Amino acid sequence: MFLVGLHGINALGYRHYKRHFGKKVQEYLRQTISANPEYFDKLDVYQTDEWELRREDLKMFDEIGRGTFGKVYLGEGINLTSVCGVKFGKCAIKTIPECASNAERLHFLIEASVMKTFNTAYIVKLYGVVSEGQPVLVVMEMMDQGNLRDYLRARRPNSEENTNNAPLPTMISYFKWASQIADGMAYLESLKFCHRDLAARNCMVANDETVKIGDFGMARDIYYHEYYKPAGKRLMRNCSMDGT
């Protein structure tokens, strides 16, 4: 009788929580993470699929950047072809620290899952994912000129960043980049997808000066308190070498 009564109390408590708090929690997460319901539905667990790559088929070289979740390395695919039909060698490999929590790894992979649905000229292409083992890797199209913010800063007259006396971009270039970014955003809008953080630092520049939209890590605001911001760098997780 006691166990039956206890079970009944637990059931009542759960119904009370779900009625009064469940919808509020779900709505908070929906607004915080994304305005796209399909994106929210993918939060439960990451499932491996045809985008999964073998770790041994990838080589990692020098660090070329740092992002919200971790570091970005110059990479090379060994006889690899992506799901979208691109045979690639040189690539960019995004990583997340091994000391990251399960939730952070999940959201890192969710960013890749979102990009699996994109197929357009002005959004950085996803090549594949290595979700099994550590560290988790997201393999993307290599944009050799880096992000648009640093690219522009390196071309300002009399700027410290302009170490090679690079010329100021022409007005035609500005219009071209603006139209490419607008094209990419229009494509996202057609999919009812909300980027939420469009900025020059999140637009990437290819060797031919084509600009593409990148960085779909929309959950960064949830974990903001777990990060620090070193001078001149973007948000990075603060973890020591021993993983603490």
87 and 13 housed in the same domain:
no
206 in any annotated domain: no
* Torsion, Cα of 141, 145, 150, 155 (10° steps): -160
Q: Is 94 annotated as a binding residue?
A: yes
Report CA-CA distances (Å) from 237 to 71, 98, 105, 136, 182.
10, 11, 12, 15, 32
Question: What is the pLDDT averaged over residues 182-200?
Answer: 89
69 and 127 housed in the same domain:
yes
> For 67-89, how does the pLDDT look when each residue is reduced to its tens digit (9 = 90+)?
666 889 999 999 999 998 889 99
122 in any annotated domain: yes
pLDDT band at 43; cut points 50, 70, 90: very low
136 and 67 housed in the same domain:
yes
Q: What number of helices (H) and strands (E) belong to the chain? A: 6, 9
- pLDDT of 92 over the 90 cut: yes
16 in any annotated domain: yes
pLDDT reported for residue 52? 95
The domain that holds 126 is classified in CATH as 3.30.200.20
148 in any annotated domain: no
| Residue 16: CB atoms within 10 Å | 11
What is the chain's mean pLDDT, rounded?
Answer: 76
- pLDDT of 217 over the 70 cut: no
63 and 135 housed in the same domain:
yes
> For 128-180, how does the pLDDT look when each residue is reduced to its tens digit (9 = 90+)?
999 988 899 999 999 999 999 999 999 998 888 888 888 999 999 999 999 99
Given 143, 168, 186, the domain boundary residue is 143
Given 143, 158, 175, the domain boundary residue is 143
pLDDT reported for residue 11? 52
70 and 116 housed in the same domain:
yes
Could you tell me the sign of the dihedral formed by the alpha carbons of 34, 35, 39, 43, in that order?
A: positive
156 in any annotated domain: no
Catalytic machinery residues: 197
Indicate yes or no: pTM above 0.95: no
80 in any annotated domain: yes
* Residue 105, domain extent: 55-143
Could you tell me the sign of the dihedral formed by the alpha carbons of 163, 229, 123, 54, in that order?
A: positive
Given 143, 173, 202, the domain boundary residue is 143
* C-alpha span between 49 and 232 (Å, rounded): 37
Give the total number of structural domains in the chain: 2
94 in any annotated domain: yes
125 in any annotated domain: yes
